[in-house]
Structure 1
Amino acid sequence: MQGIDSGLRGDRSGGGTVELAIQVQALKTRMDTVLPTLATREQLAQEVGALRSEMKHEIGALRSEMKQEIGDLRSEVKQEIGALRGELKHEVGALRAEIKDSIGELRAEIGGLRAEMHQTVASAIKWGLGIGLSAITAAAAFVTVMSPHFSSFSRGREAVAAVAAEPAELPTRP
């Protein structure tokens, strides 16, 4: 470097031209080794920039494509859900109608059983009253038939008189 500086400044001693030629050759060699590196770095920066912009473009394209596909899937899922919702509404409506019919049949059956139960209870009451009245009538007949045998007893007379007498004629308790 010192030789280059002295040669450039005009130090023209006897071997200056040869020395200058050697220094210029060294400078050229040095520049040839440095310049390709700089050019390669520049090219690398350009290529990296180009790759970066291309990558951004590709990522943007993929993003928009994915958004489109997701939107399509979303609308397809919405349609499927809507169809399922419609089917479920139809099925639930059919089940409601079926349950309503079953409840109507059950109510009719319960009404029939209720009427049958009322008839059975009424029949049982009639039978009970019939048997009770028959028993009372039989007891009255028995007392009437047996009253001559009870006449010697005062209580027997009162019992016979109570059965045979009208309610207004019944003795009151003291």
Structure 2
Amino acid sequence: MRLHERVTKIEAVLPTLATKEDLAREVGGLRSEMHLEFGKVRQEMGAEFSKMRKEVSAEFASVRKEMSELRVDVSELRVDVHRAIEVQTWRVIGTLITVCTALVAATYFITKAG
């Protein structure tokens, strides 16, 4: 009896099992579907990368422009600082010459008078 029940169950399940051909068809369909989806993803990624590349290129161009403007500003500032230091140097030299001459004169008159 038990054997008969098992055979009946197996016979009931057999029509629902897939054959190798069914599996091959399913696998082929899945592969082609996957290739199509991968192609779409590749196209989307290519478009996004192209867009990002253009944005980054534009940003780098603006950064280069800002850097060249800063380079000019720094050069102008350097010239201004150099001029200011030169003016202050001559003022210090003039002050030292005046003070040293006055000290020499004071020393001379103190030694002559004393």
Q: Calculate the TM-score normalised by the size of structure 2.
A: 0.71
* 1:111-135 alpha-carbon deviations (Å, 9 max, x no partner): 1121111111011111211222233
1:81 maps to what in 2?
60
Which structure has the bigger radius of gyration? 1
Q: For residue 96 of structure 1, what is the aligned residue in structure 2?
A: 75
SS in 2 for 1:61: helix
Give a deviation string over 1:142-171, Cα, whole Å, max 9, x none: xxxxxxxxxxxxxxxxxxxxxxxxxxxxxx
Counterpart position of 1:115? 94
Task: Give the Cα–Cα distance (whole angstroms) in 2 for the partners of residues 105 and 63 of structure 1.
Answer: 61
Give the residue type in structure 2 aligned to 1:115.
G
Measured after TM superposition, the shift of residue 37 of structure 1 is 4.4
- Structure 1: unaligned runs, 5 residues or longer: 1-29, 136-174
Query: Which runs of 5 or more residues in structure 2 are unaligned?
Result: 1-10
CA-CA distance at 1:61 after TM superposition: 2.3
2:4 aligned residue: none
Residues of 1 paired with 2:61 and 2:111: CA distance? 72
**Matched residue type, 1:72:** K
- Inter-CA distance 37–121: structure 2 relative to 1 (3 Å threshold): closer
**How much is the aligned-residue C-alpha RMSD, in angstroms?**
2.3
Pair 1:46 & 2:25 matched: yes
TM-score by length of 1: 0.50
Task: Go from structure 1 to structure 2 and tell me whether the alpha carbon gap of 1:105 and 1:119 turns closer, same or farther (over 3 Å shift).
Answer: same
The percentage of counterpart residues that share the same residue type is: 25
Using CA pairs under 8 Å that are at least 6 residues apart, name the structure with larger relative contact order, 1 or 2: 1
CA distance in structure 1 between the aligned counterparts of 2:45 and 2:18, rounded to whole angstroms? 41
Query: Which portions of structure 1, spanning 4 or more consecutive aligned residues, are displaced by more than 4 angstroms?
Result: none
